[in-house]
Chain A
């Protein structure tokens, strides 16, 4: 995400306390102490490297971490729209911007292929995310989405799609402040073009187009530490098909552990246990929205969902998103809700398997049913639907059921970020009520 035209202005306002060393006023002992502290922080935390790009951006800066005088909220005020850069940022020769129309099946197939071959892999390059075309349509076209935020880069000659980034609009509440934001996702550069440094210009361009809609904040995640996460979550994994997970290298079998005992350990009942547990339907949108809004109000940062959002994000779609609820058999009141989305991964270089089918915990609200029981039912339906693994972040109340339901900790950490919005001291994962896809 980049400031519209003047990065210096952005960096100046984001770093006023740092000051210029040449200004005698600022060369105080405190400034010096801060610098020393900053360098100590950097020395002690190799991941907290210097980020030239992000230091020019209105994001929480590492050096400001200890500064209690900075207020929560927007880091810099909106620029007048007339000052937002009108033209796209320049691309290297031989590439051109291309706004993707996801109604077009052929284009959707191109985007699917770009991501399926070039998007996120694990550290050992054994798996690569394989978001389905239907999932991409769902993820990129929520209520009031902007087509201009589906940004492709094509090779001018071949018209081949070689890079992509996207934003979707969302209302996200931070403490008492409901902010219109862009959720930035699906940044992908073709493997052969990694040295072209397309990622920064994609980020700048999506920022520009977000600004053009008079939106000045954004939410995004990353596996790396950038300035500065609002919180850092861990993935947990619940084996549903342990033999396959071991065969593909997703998990390992200890030398003194048997496969047969592992299989028995993760066995689940054939059908959900909670009476009244059923799939969500269109008629449930209103009660689910009420349930969800009341629940998400507990969290420091959470989406501000209305019924349109709930209909889009939570109404079940085969192999995209699944939602279940508990309808009281007596009163027919909707008392509890759980959901997960479907994100398969390609299994790279395995003779027996090509796909890993993973369910990702999405939004869950347990009011009458104990959360652990509700999530156990979610595991059961995921198993019924042939998912291999059920993943969950340690956000919201999830910690309360992870260990009990035999989730194991994952090797992946997910950092959550807000652009141009400061939340001093960050928050705990359990204070986060937002799940980005």
Chain B
């Protein structure tokens, strides 16, 4: 009995030791594997990457693949290269067009797949799928046959194929990569260092409950044919929107001289006031639209109507060069 226990205890200790070393070994392997993962892109689940999941920089930027440690490799990595950006844009485009059902010849599809895998994961190390799995086997072959093709070469060929298949792909993509002037890898829009150009973020007119009729919209857009159509269909020329603006107010506000002409020639009321008491001439003056203001004055727009703040168009006119605003002339 005593011997048995001893043996059992020994076995248990050995087992524990074994388990410990196994765990150590696994963690070492995981750690190593982890290191290797770093020098590749995250492997995509599908042949084309999802556009929502932009690939990290290519292998050559991240690890000591190929080039020596200090010379060439150190030139990279501060910025992602143009090639990398082009490749990301191209692969995102391919993913998007695949998702929208654009058909690409099977041969090109497989070539792109193989190049993508090379560019993102390097040479094929996956086991060959069964010959019965036709599709998987074809993909594997496409990858495997590229052997140890360099990452950059793969990216370049990938972009070339996409250029051939979709000559205008870069126009539609959000990133205007193909325009030499807009490849901003080094010190352009989002350079590696330095200041940032910011412009106002567009905020939907929240809380703006204005409701416009169709003719107001046409006047705002300067669509004179549509304005004429609405008038011909019997829409009242001075019809008010929810802020009591007439189509004339909108045409003046957006600076559409020809639409203003159409409206005043259709007997629009040049002195109609919006809910803040402003006339089309108030608008023209505030928006510094001289030609329109002059036209309105010619059509007897009143220079002395006060808006809700007590200002006449004359009061609001900052330019002394507008002689027509001066009744003395």
Contacts and interface: CB of A to CB of B under 8 A. Distances in A.
Interface of A: 7-8, 21-22, 24, 27, 29, 31-32, 35, 39, 42-43, 46, 49-54, 56, 118-123, 125-129, 184-189, 191, 193-195, 197-201, 203-204, 220-224, 226, 234-235, 237, 239, 243, 245, 249-252, 254-260, 263-264, 345, 391, 408-414, 436-437
B81 A195 contact: yes
B224 to A, nearest CB: 19
A189 B70 contact: no
A233 to B, nearest CB: 9
A260 B286 contact: yes
Given A194-B185, A200-B77, A237 B199 contact: yes
B301 to A, nearest CB: 14
A223 B184 CA distance: 12
Nearest to A225: B190
A198 to B, nearest CB: 7
Given A121-B184, A258-B253, A43 B288 contact: no
Nearest to B287: A259
Interface string B15-51: 0000000001001101110110110001000000000
Contacts of B286: 259-260, 263-264
Interface string B155-194: 0000000000000000000001000111111111111111
Interface residues of B, number: 74
B189 A32 contact: no
B146 to A, nearest CB: 24
B75 A120 contact: no
Given A254-B205, A345-B197, A120 B189 contact: yes
B31 A21 contact: yes
Nearest to B32: A21
A122 B195 contact: no
16 contacts: A7-B74, A21-B31, A49-B56, A53-B78, A128-B197, A129-B195, A188-B191, A199-B191, A223-B196, A251-B202, A257-B205, A408-B201, A409-B200, A410-B198, A410-B201, A436-B195
A199 B193 CA distance: 9
Contacts of B208: 254, 256-257
A29 to B, nearest CB: 8
Contact of A412 (B34, B53, B196): B196
Contacts of B53: 46
B185 to A, nearest CB: 5
A258 B253 CA distance: 6
Contacts of B204: 254
Contacts of B35: 21
Contacts of B253: 258-260
Contacts of A243: 287-288
B191 A120 contact: yes
Given A260-B253, A412-B199, A50 B56 contact: yes
Contacts of A413: 196, 198
B195 A46 contact: no
A257 B255 CA distance: 14
The 6 closest A-B pairs by CB, nearest first: A412-B198, A254-B205, A410-B198, A52-B77, A235-B198, A21-B31
Contacts of A198: 186
A254 B205 CA distance: 6
Interface of B: 24, 27-28, 30-32, 34-35, 37-38, 42, 53-54, 56-57, 61-63, 69-70, 73-83, 176, 180-205, 208, 210, 212, 220, 245, 249-250, 253-255, 278, 282-283, 286-288
Contact of B196 (A118, A197, A414, A437): A414
B193 A237 contact: no
A258 B283 contact: yes
B76 A260 contact: no
A210 to B, nearest CB: 14
Contacts of A189: 186-187
B197 A127 contact: yes
A249 B69 CA distance: 45
Contact of B76 (A27, A200, A204, A408): A200
B188 A127 contact: no
A408 B287 CA distance: 21
A413 B201 CA distance: 11
B28 A411 contact: no
Contacts of B190: 123, 223-224
